Amino acid sequence: MACEYALCSLFVPGDRQIILGTKSGKLQIFELASGSLLETVDAHSGALWSLCLAPDQRGIVTGSADKKVKFWEFELIKDEGSSSGQKRLTVNHTRTLQLEEDILCVKFSPDNRLLAVSLLDCTVKVFYTDTLKFFLSLYGHKLPVLCLDISH
C-alpha cells in the first residue's frame, strides 16, 4: 500500500481497515482487501507517534509531537463515490488533551477508566479518561518511554 511516512498503525475492529499515523500528523484509513486509501485526516500538526484502540472498540486516541492527545470516534458515513449506497469508515474528533511535552505513547487501561501518556520529559502521566483530570505521574526513567501497556 502506498502511504505517507507511517510511524504507527492499528487494525480497526472487524479487520477490514487499517489506520496509519504519519510523520506529517495525518491519519490514513486504508481498506485491507483492496489496499486502497479510503480517507486522509489532518489529525495533528506534528508527528503522530501513537494510536490506541479504546477498550469499547468505538474509537481511538492519538498522541503527537504537537503536545496533544486527541480522542476520535468511529463513524460509518455514506460514500459519495459509491452508487450502491455503501458506507465507509471515518473518524470524528471529539476532544483534546493539551500537555507541555511531546507525546510518544498513549494507552487506555482495560476498564477504560485511565489513560497513560508517555512524554518526552521521561515521565508517564496518567489521566482519568472521562474528565481528563490528572491522576498520577510516574517518573524515574533515564530515557523517554517509547512503548507501554496496562494490565488488569
CA 47 to chain centre: 12
pTM exceeds 0.85, yes or no: yes
Tens of pLDDT along 103-116?
999 999 999 999 99
pLDDT at 136 (0 to 100): 96
Q: Measure the CA–CA gap between 85 and 80, rounded to whole angstroms.
A: 8
Q: What percent of the chain is modeled with pLDDT above 90?
A: 90
Cα Dmax for the chain: 57
Q: Measure the CA–CA gap between 22 and 27, rounded to whole angstroms.
A: 6
Mean pLDDT over each residue of the chain, to the nearest integer = 95
Contact 3, 30 (CB under 8 A): yes
Look at the domain 6-102 and name its fold.
Thrombin, subunit H (2.40.10)
pLDDT at 84 (0 to 100): 66
Instruction: Label residue 119 exposed, middle or buried (CB < 10 Å: 0-12, 13-18, 19+).
Output: buried
Question: Which H/E stretch holds residue 127?
Answer: strand 124-128
Report domain extents, the chain: 6-102
pLDDT for 75 beyond 90: yes
